[in-house]
């Protein structure tokens, strides 16, 4: 046997390595308890690993069996790509793990801001429209079948339909009508869409226009033209008003002149009738001899009174004057 293969070779070497200085090597103590503990640990691990695997599989099955439906969403249960159940109430439900899958769809009103787009009016003017829509999923099954339950697909379809409706409505209106009736434009667009989104399981709640303006490059020119048109319209209205006022004043002056002439004629008629009545009364008075002298006297006094008006208070009468004859007769 080779000395290198001798069993005592290794021991002697170890004795030399672990021999203390100045003394002989002492054999290290054996560790039978450590080896026994290791063996027990290995056995325990072999028992625990299957249990852990079982718990892990059970946990996966457990988590894949429950479905949580939130208040603002629908939950669709699909089996091999086919919808077998729809959960529209919030709560906890079950499904078959690994065979059935759950898909959530929003069950609330959503806001979609439409891309800014150009539209052409009836009078061939370009306008920039910036709008948004409010929409919700009304039929989740149809929504999944037509749009794969994807909100982005729904927004793309909504954008196309709303833009077409907006283009149709605005193309039938002039630029002036659009600017003056912007508060009614959103309602007209909404009515024009009608039930166009029902086939996708979508309910359109509202269409609103944030901004409907002119392009920046021709906005100022259009504004100046509109101001000029408004000034022309205002001048036309003013001219019509002045013409109507002149007509009214002319008719009024004519009516007043006619009424004044009629009043004057009536006054002259009444005055003539009064004068005639006065003369009749005088005639009757003078016709009565018992009163004729008295009336003659009164008229003579009136004539004297009139002749003595002013600063001249002297009355000169000739003997043959009627008034003097009255006084002479009195004497």
DSSP calls for 201-242: TEEEEEEEEEEEE--TTTHHHHHHHHHHHHHHHHHHHHHHHH
pLDDT confidence of residue 312: 66
Integer Rg of the chain from CA: 62
* CB distance 296 to 326 below 8 Å: yes
pLDDT given for residue 6 in this prediction: 42
Q: Does 190 share its domain with 222?
A: no
Rounded to two decimals, the pTM is: 0.50
Task: Say if 275 falls within a structural domain.
Answer: no
Shared-domain flag, residues 75 and 93 = yes
Residue 11 lies in a domain: no
Task: Summarize pLDDT for 272-328 with one digit per residue, the tens.
Answer: 999 888 888 877 776 766 666 677 777 777 777 777 777 767 777 777 776 677 666
DSSP string of 262-299, one letter each residue: HHHHHHHHHHHHHHHHHHHHHHHHHHSHHHHHHHHHHH
Please count the structural domains in the chain.
4
Q: Are residues 163 and 190 in the same domain?
A: yes
Q: 160 and 126 share a domain?
A: yes
Of 70, 67, 76, the C-alpha closest to 149 is 76
Contact 163, 139 (CB under 8 A): no
Spatial contact of 133 and 162, defined as CB atoms under 8 Å apart: yes
Q: Are residues 87 and 180 in the same domain?
A: no
Looking at the structure, tell me whether residues 120 and 200 fall in a common domain: yes
Is residue 241 situated within a structural domain?
yes
**Of 79, 106, 133, which marks where a domain is finished?**
106
| Domain assignment of residue 276, yes or no | no
- Which parts of the chain sit beneath pLDDT 70? 1-35, 51-52, 57-65, 91, 94, 96, 98, 216-219, 222, 286, 288-293, 312, 322-323, 326-331
Task: Say if 266 falls within a structural domain.
Answer: no
Instruction: Give the model's pLDDT for residue 1.
Output: 42
Instruction: Flag whether 176 is in a domain.
Output: yes
Range of the domain at 93: 66-106
Same domain, 210 and 293: no
Residue 143 placed within a domain: yes
Residues 183 and 235 in one domain: no
Using the 3D structure, point to which of 203, 230, 251 is the last residue of a domain.
Answer: 251
Same domain flag for 245 and 292: no
Q: Give me the helices (H) in the chain, please.
A: 7-18, 32-63, 140-147, 151-171, 175-180, 182-193, 219-287, 289-307, 322-330
What is the spatial distance between Cα 144 and Cα 31, in angstroms, rounded to a whole number?
A: 70
Per the domain annotation, does 101 fall within a domain? yes
Crossing angle of helices 289-307 and 322-330, rounded to 10°? 120
CATH of the domain at 187: 3.30.479.30
Residue 212: count other Cβ atoms within 10 Å of its Cβ.
18
Residues 133 and 173 grouped into a single domain: yes
Q: Are residues 221 and 207 in the same domain?
A: no
Strand 126-137 versus strand 100-106 pairing type: unpaired
Distances (CA, A) of 255 to 79, 248, 261: 94, 10, 10
Of the candidates 201, 204, 198, the one whose C-alpha atom is nearest the C-alpha of residue 149 is 201
Provide the 3-class DSSP secondary structure of residue 132: strand
pLDDT of residue 225: 77
136 with 228, same domain? no
């Amino acid at each position: 046997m080779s000395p290198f293969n001798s069993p005592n070779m290794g021991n002697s070497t170890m004795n030399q390595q672990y021999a203390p200085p100045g003394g002989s090597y002492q054999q290290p103590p054996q560790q039978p308890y450590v080896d026994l503990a290791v063996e027990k640990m290995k056995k325990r691990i072999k028992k625990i690993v299957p249990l852990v695997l079982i718990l892990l599989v059970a946990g996966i099955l457990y988590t894949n069996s429950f479905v949580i439906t939130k208040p603002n969403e629908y939950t669709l249960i699909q089996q091999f790509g086919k919808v077998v159940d729809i959960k529209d109430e919030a709560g906890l439900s079950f499904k078959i793990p690994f065979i059935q899958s759950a898909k959530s769809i929003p069950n609330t009103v959503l806001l979609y801001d439409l891309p800014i787009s150009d539209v052409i009016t009836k009078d061939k003017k370009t306008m920039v429209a910036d709008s948004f829509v409010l929409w919700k999923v009304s039929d989740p099954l149809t929504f999944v079948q037509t749009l794969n339950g994807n909100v982005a697909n729904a927004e793309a379809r909504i954008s196309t339909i709303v833009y077409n409706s907006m283009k149709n409505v605005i193309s039938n209106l002039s630029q002036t009508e659009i600017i003056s009736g912007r508060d009614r434009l959103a309602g007209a667009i909404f009515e024009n869409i009608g039930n166009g989104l029902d086939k996708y399981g979508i309910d359109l709640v509202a269409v609103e226009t944030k901004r409907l303006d002119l392009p920046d490059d021709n906005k100022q020119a259009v504004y100046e033209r509109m101001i000029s048109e408004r000034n022309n319209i205002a001048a036309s209205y003013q001219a019509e008003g002045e013409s109507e006022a002149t007509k009214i004043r002319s008719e009024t002056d004519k009516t007043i002149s006619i009424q004044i002439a009629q009043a004057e004629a009536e006054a002259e008629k009444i005055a003539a009738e009064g004068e005639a009545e006065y003369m009749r009364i005088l005639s009757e008075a003078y016709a009565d001899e018992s009163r004729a002298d008295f009336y003659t006297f009164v008229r003579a006094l009136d004539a004297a009174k009139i002749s003595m008006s002013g600063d001249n208070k002297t009355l000169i009468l000739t003997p043959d004057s009627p008034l003097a004859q009255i006084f002479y007769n009195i004497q």
